[in-house]
Amino acid sequence: MSAAATIATSILLVAWVFYPLWLSLLAAGRKASRRSPSGNWPTVSVIVATREAAEVVARRVQDIWAQDYPRERLQVIVAVDFRSIHGVSEIEAALRGQAEVVRGDAPGGKAAGLNAGVRAATGTVLLFADSQQTFSTGAIRQLVQVLDDSQFGAVSGMVDQASGDGLMDLYWRYELLIRRGACFDAPRACRLDDQLLLALRHAPVGPGRLPP
């Protein structure tokens, strides 16, 4: 093997093997803050931006209400995409009062839908969710516990993705390992903006200020 090939192989090993291994060891030695919120549990507005059919949205909303979070502290908002073929009235009929349904802003898209949902939100915590996912039972409670620490402006959960493709699922776990370790290595510089599951305080966002 030539010197150039040896150097190239070494760089790949460092980037793809040793760096993730170091991050995983770093993350294993530290634990995220999970403390009970000071005072009462905050009100949480769960916003689901969607263009899915009514039955899909209904299952998603039922899953949210199955959380172990106090029901009286939860608000569920469904923002129907502006370009969706499924109307607001169709979704409302399927949900039967389980969620507030709003039309997403023009021209459509997820951010535009979330903007409409944020304007309807009354909770002190905003939680952006996707219509195709499900939550583990304690997901909202755990997100709020971390967010109660003032050093964090936003907190994201871990998405357990199972595509059925072994190689793709392996790569997804590999990426999550890198993300988790990077956040523990530099928590103040860690950016979590995965809108599949993102919780943040309502005040910094304000009404309808998410970029398109």
**Taking the domains of the chain in order of start, what are their residue ranges?**
44-159+194-205
Residue-level pLDDT at 186: 47
In CATH, 44-159+194-205 is 3.90.550.10: yes
Sign of CA dihedral 120, 122, 128, 129: negative
Residue-level pLDDT at 67: 95
3-state secondary structure of 184: helix
User: Is the model's pLDDT at 72 over the cut of 90?
Assistant: yes
pLDDT band (50, 70, 90) for residue 120: very high
H/E stretch holding 91 reads helix 88-95
What average pLDDT does range 33-57 have in this prediction? 84
User: Is the model's pLDDT at 57 over the cut of 90?
Assistant: yes
pLDDT band (50, 70, 90) for residue 11: confident
User: Is the model's pLDDT at 9 over the cut of 70?
Assistant: yes
Residue-level pLDDT at 85: 94
Q: Which of 4-8, 13-17, 49-53, 61-65 has the lowest mean pLDDT?
A: 13-17
What average pLDDT does range 168-184 have in this prediction? 66
User: Is the model's pLDDT at 146 over the cut of 80?
Assistant: yes
pLDDT band (50, 70, 90) for residue 189: very low
Rounded distance, CA 158 to CA 154, Å?
14
Q: Which of 132-136, 175-179, 180-184, 190-194 has the lowest mean pLDDT?
A: 190-194
Rounded distance, CA 55 to CA 49, Å?
15
Residue-level pLDDT at 162: 64
Distance of CA 76 to the CA centre of its chain: 15
What is the arrangement of strands in the sheet containing 100-103, beginning at the earlier edge strand? 100-103, 74-80, 44-50, 125-130, 197-201, 154-156
Tell how strand 74-80 and strand 44-50 pair up: parallel
Residue-level pLDDT at 172: 66
Q: CB neighbours (10 Å) of residue 56?
A: 16
Q: Please provide the average confidence, as pLDDT, over all residues in the chain.
A: 80
User: Is the model's pLDDT at 187 over the cut of 50?
Assistant: no
